[in-house]
Structure 1
Amino acid sequence: MNELKKIQYNCRKATFLIEKKQIGKITIREKIELSIHLAGCSICKTFEKQSLVINHMVKSLFNASQHHSLKLDDDFKKDLQKRLDEKLSQF
């Protein structure tokens, strides 16, 4: 099986590349492999969207925590978990 076909069926590598892309740079080859995988995998597309939201929220929390001491309260955690579960159940 050639290398491009391997990524087509490899969600583990795709999720790794999604995370790598968000924290730094990925190579042109990795971009191509990820694009090929995402073209046919709705689960990894959903993962990418959720990961972007989560990473954005975490960055916002860390930026805010530089000015304040932040802790997520239980109601917020429950609401966040509920929203994630609802989105995941759509797929």
Structure 2
Amino acid sequence: MDELTKIAYNCRKATHLIEKKLIDHLTLREKLELKIHLAGCSVCRVFEQQSSLINKMVRDLFHPEKITELKLDEEYKKQMQERIEEKLNKH
């Protein structure tokens, strides 16, 4: 069995290539192998979609512009400060 035929039946290698594609570049041969596998494997196509979505969500979450949006609401901070002061004044 030649190498290109083997990839058609190898989900482990295909998932590795899917992950590699998301963080790096695939060689021309790897792109071809992955394309052949995905043509016949719906499970790996779903894995690729889910993996891509998860990577995008993580990138979006930790993007510097998004980090500034992750702040406590001013009203919530005010309520917390009042509760802290109440507790401190009781002791």
- TM-score (normalizing by structure 1): 0.71
- 1:24, distance to aligned residue in structure 2 (A): 1.1
Report whether the alignment pairs 1:21 with 2:16.
Answer: no
Percent of paired sites with the same residue: 61
Please tell me whether residue 42 in structure 1 is matched to residue 62 in structure 2.
Answer: no
Partners of 2:41 and 2:17 lie apart in 1 by 14
CA-to-aligned-CA distance 1:6-64 (integer Å, 9 cap, x gap): 10000000001001001110000000000000000000000000011100000001112
Q: Map of 1:1-91 to 2, 5 A cutoff? A: 1-63=1-63, 64-65=66-67, 67=68
What is the alpha-carbon root mean square deviation over aligned residues? 1.4
TM-score, normalised on structure 2? 0.71
Q: Flag as ranges the 4+ runs of structure 1 deviating above 3 A.
A: none
SS of the residue 2:26 aligns to: coil
Unaligned runs of 5+ in 1: 71-91
Whole-angstrom CA distance in 2 between matches of 1:69 and 1:24:
29
